[in-house]
Structure 1
Amino acid sequence: MKFSANLGFLWADRPLPDAIRAAHAAGFDAVECHWPYDTPAAEVRAALDQTGLPMLGLNTIRGNPGENGLSALPGREAEARAAIDQAIAYAVAVGAQAIHVMAGFAEGPEAHAAFLANLRYARTACPDAITLLIEPLNRHDAPGYFLRTTDQAAALLADLDLPGMKLMFDCYHVGRTEGDVVTRLAALLPLIGHIQFAAVPDRGAPDHGEMDYNYVFDRIAALGWSRPLGAEYKPGGSSDDTLGWLHARRSQSLS
């Protein structure tokens, strides 16, 4: 089983190129990030080339302070599409495989229409090789976020009916809001473009909490998933000190 380090949380105290090198040294198979835009793309690409790690994905910007994405905000289409263009340009420059198009805090039919229109724009503007992702966020961490459940996301993807549009299935968010994570993951597998994880409910390393990730990882493997799973958890200190789960998994696969 392969794993990706989400550098929005892991080694977040280091410049992004150094975080990429730290993830490589720790034994991760890939990296992903949140908002890399303050780091020149050439520096990120150089670190990826040096380590041989792929960049799985990045997010569109949040927007103004207190916002959490722009693409479902009625009347903000120009800003949302500028953010999409920015993400596409950066993803192309660093070779990222996917872009998470963040919806933002909104609700209602106008927000639904705005999100669909901006996602259609994104698919038209984005190279076919880059997957576009949408992700439900749980109501505890992101109250008022437009995209709240996997059912809502699946309905949106059905409405769009576009190639290269996929669901980001975060076991942590689904566990906090919907539960029954493994069953939902299996049912939604054809729609899923990336899987992330963290402990429930504290979003820490996956070696504690309500969810048994040894079981979850085994079930994901049994479904035939072969792409890296995204470790998007808050280390609460030194990232290197939280990697016992990764070393244990590696040892298990070798035994």
Structure 2
Amino acid sequence: MKLSANLNFLFTEGGKPISERIYMAHGAGFNAVEIPFPSSELEDVLQAKESTGIQIGLINISLGKFNPIKSDSKFGNGSVPNNQENFKKELKDTIEFAKKVRCT
């Protein structure tokens, strides 16, 4: 069995960036992680991945303008009527990011 640390929920203390959480997951014995879409951290994520040898097995697509506090907020771009173009852009960006970090 292979385990992967979901960095949406693990190693979140202090609001650390995803790249630092990769190092923490590796230090805790994980050899794979799942990450949110950290578009501004590409180089740092690549460095952490290469330094640790950890695999990135899943990348979540952006939720768009979802706000869990507002009752009229819609969850994710894919579920909002007439928002297909935003969803397509987020999907394309996520796929490109996944390719760059060699998501398995």
TM-score, length basis structure 1: 0.36
Q: Which residue of 2 aligns with 1:62?
A: 63
The alignment yields a C-alpha RMSD, in angstroms, of 1.4
Larger radius of gyration, structure 1 or 2?
1
Alignment-derived partner of residue 10 in structure 1: 10
Q: In structure 2, what is the Cα distance between the partners aligned to 1:63 and 1:14?
A: 21
Question: Hey, what does 2:45 align to over in structure 1?
Answer: 44
- Whether the aligned pair in 1 keeps the contact of 2:19 and 2:44 (CA below 8 Å) is yes
Equivalent in 53, 77, 94 of residue 84 of structure 2: 77
1:30 is the counterpart of 2:32: yes
| SS of structure 2 residue aligned to 1:43 | helix
Aligned to 1:148: none
Q: Quote the Cα distance in structure 1 between the aligned partners of 2:8 and 2:80.
A: 24
Which whole-Å CA distance do the structure 1 matches of 2:64 and 2:22 have between them? 25
Q: Deviations over 1:107-128 (max 9, x none)?
A: xxxxxxxxxxxxxxxxxxxxxx
Q: 1:76 & 1:42 partners in 2: Cα distance?
A: 30
Letter in 2 for 1:95: R
- The 8 Å contact of residues 42 and 93 in structure 1, kept in 2 or not, is answered as no
- Is residue 2:97 matched to residue 1:96? no
Q: Which has the higher contact order (CA 8 A, sep 6+)?
A: 2
| Distance in structure 2 (CA, Å) of the matches to 1:31 and 1:63 | 22
1:48-86 CA deviation, whole Å, 9 max, x = no partner? 011011101111111114232112333111111011111
Counterpart in the other structure of 1:136: none
| 2: CA distance, partners of 1:51 / 1:18 | 11
Provide structure 2 residue ranges, at least 5 long, that are not aligned to the other structure.
68-73
TM-score (ref. length: structure 2): 0.82
1:146-157, aligned counterparts within 5 Å?
Answer: none
Structure 1 segments unaligned to the other structure (5+ residues): 98-255
